[in-house]
Amino acid sequence: MHTRRSFFGAGAALCAASAVRIEADAPADSFKLGVASISFLRFPRERAIAMTTALGTRYINIKFVHLALDSTPEQIRAARAEFEAAGLTILGGGLIPFDKEDDADIRHKFEYAKLAGMPLIVAGPTHRTLPMLEKFVREYDIRVAVHNHGPEDKQFPTPQSVLAEIKGMDPRIGLCVDVGHTLRAGADPVASLADAGRRLLDIHMKDLRNPGAWQACPVGDGVMPVPALFRQLRKMHYTGAVNLEYETDEDNPFPGMQKSFAYMRGALAGLGA
């Protein structure tokens, strides 16, 4: 349920942003600054679309709160049209759970991704379901990026735990490195990007006030070494997404997201100076 204050707060921020719209990608950058739509968890799809475009980016990864997994094909096509009509490029969908050892469930989710125009699924599999995804990756030609979720994650807490599992699998199976959860799990996020190498398919960007605790904050206000992350991505010639996953201020996320994008763009400009 949205509060009156949250709607007016976000609305005011949207108006302010309209005067300072900046394209997410400088021409020198091969990767794409985008939004993970879970950042707008408490807002309906049309508001998520409006706030994404107001951030000056054309890239989005769609969470199922903005396009339900049990949608009909007609509903999926209509939702896809809404995103595309707003000028957004759908880079992927997720996190999509794969916790059932059931081919029918897996196929349903790949069909959902195909109809929605998602070239990539940010996935939450188990050790048992991950090998089952490979044949669907080959059939649908949709990449799967396994997401790490930090020390509480009993399946894949770190990028390294994903790499150990996917060794030898189809190269379209790789990682979505969540740099915040990586840091919380005690792994170096910059080194983790390097470790991932060609298996790095997607990134969830966030910042933390404390490296060992869940205290999310706008990017640039915490301990995340963002310039070093971007330097590593350039060194790797990474061409995927760096999607802001802003998981604080849920009733009014836009100001913190705007600040995060400003910092990330500034960090990129600094690298190019």
pLDDT digits (tens, 9 = 90+) for 92-129: 999 999 999 999 999 999 999 999 999 999 999 999 99
Residue 165's pLDDT is: 97
CA–CA separation, 61 and 109 (whole Å): 15
**pLDDT band at residue 211 using 50, 70 and 90 as cut-offs:** confident
Q: Is the pLDDT of residue 164 over 80?
A: yes
Query: What residue ranges define each of the domains in the chain, with the CATH number in brackets?
Result: 4-14+27-272 (3.20.20.150)
The pTM is what?
Answer: 0.89
Q: Which of 26-35, 89-98, 173-182 has the lowest mean pLDDT?
A: 26-35
Burial state string for 110-128 with b = 16 or more CB within 10 A and e = fewer than 16: bebbebbbbbbbbbbbeee
Question: What distance in Å separates the CA atoms of residue 163 and residue 150, rounded to the nearest whole number?
Answer: 15
Burial class, 202, CB count within 10 angstroms (exposed 0-12 / middle 13-18 / buried 19+): buried
